[in-house]
Amino acid sequence: MNKKLLLIPVALLLIAGGVWWAQRDHPGNGLDLVLQGNIDIRQVDLAFNASGRIAEILVHEGARVAPGQTLARLDTTRLGLALAQAQAQADAQRSQVAKLKSGSRPEEIRQAAALREAAQAAVTDAQQVFRRQQELVARHFVSPQQLDNARNALDAARERLKAAAETHRLAVLGPRREDIEAAEANLAAQDAAVAGLRQDIAEGELKAPAAGVVQNRVLEPGDMASSQKTVLTLALADPLWARVYLPETALARIPLGARATLATDGEPGRRFEGWVGFVSPTAEFTPKSVETTELRTSLVYQARVFACDDGTALRQGMPVTVRIAFDQAAPANAPACADAPHGR
């Protein structure tokens, strides 16, 4: 009788051990899918778009940076001098365009009119001299050569009058439209040169394309940089996801956008909210890193479970346990971390 009583606890222990052994490779409660995965983070190799010598690097490894934050600078002293010269040339050309568009000044028009009147007076005087010379030659008081000289002087005076009249007319009309357009085109070229130099100076600053953490500082001040040389490596804080593998039998029961929770080995009691953001359209053999006995030789589908974290807990390559409830309703809109707490 006593022996039978002793067998009852032993049997209960064996049953509990069997349940534990079965759940070791089949985690979950039948309503949840439990997967093992690793955290993935996008990385960006940052390089200057211009070439030059690095003047300063403003961040170190592990520093958290914000979008648009300046991370490093090139020495742009020569570019600054070239910009000042180009700006002065553009300003001079801009003044020239304004001068042409303004046309002739009233004083210039009056001056041209005065020169025309003076030329007209010279013609009148030359005509009088010529007539007198004609009379004197007719009376044989002077030689015909003097009459020829007077005729030539009259012709010259008339030509000067024509030139003065055209000068006055041009002063009234102002600059030609073609001259103004040519000056404006030259000004546009000068402004483009200024804009190009300003862009070169702006590209002398290396800015963070997104929020993240500086992972590697490759170059140092004094090094020569170019568009082919990585200066800093940035691990982006968003998006952050766990790479997991869904069995074929779970595909129909796990819709895109399904809510999930993630936990790490270091903080098993802390849960991170997430959602299924991507499922591969093609199957593959289960990777060796997936150690579930049942799935070891099965075909699976790679999936990404996006995680909500402020970037301080989940790190590249960190193993995580992902739990997804079966048969969730597909969300109408794509989930976002703003809809859920980062960690609890």
CA-to-CA distance for 248 and 7, rounded, in angstroms?
A: 43
217 beta partners: 232
Between 53 and 335, the higher pLDDT residue: 53
Give the list of residues 6+ apart from residue 246 with CB closer than 8 angstroms, or none: 33, 35, 254, 279, 300, 301, 302, 303
pLDDT tens digits along 50-74 = 899 999 999 999 898 999 999 999 9
**At residue 5, does pLDDT exceed 60?**
no
Q: Is-contact 167 112, C-beta < 8 A?
A: yes
CA distance 41 to 29: 30
Q: What's the pLDDT score for residue 54?
A: 94
Looking at residue 20, its pLDDT comes to 37
Which range is least confidently modeled, 12-16, 40-44, 223-227?
12-16
Measured distance CA(304)–CA(262) in Å, rounded: 12
Q: How confident is the model at residue 287 (pLDDT cuts 50, 70, 90)?
A: low
Verify cis geometry, omega within 30 degrees of 0, for the bond prior to 239. Answer: yes
Share of the chain above pLDDT 70, in %: 85
Q: Is 24 exposed, middle or buried (0-12, 13-18, 19+ CB in 10 A)?
A: exposed
H or E element, residue 80: helix 77-102
Distance CA 74, CA 285 (A): 49
pLDDT at 14 over 60: no
pLDDT value of position 24: 38
pLDDT beyond 60 at 155: yes
pLDDT tens readout for residues 179-212? 888 999 999 999 999 999 999 999 999 999 998 8
Q: Which pTM does this prediction carry?
A: 0.59
Lowest mean pLDDT among 73-77, 172-176, 326-330: 172-176
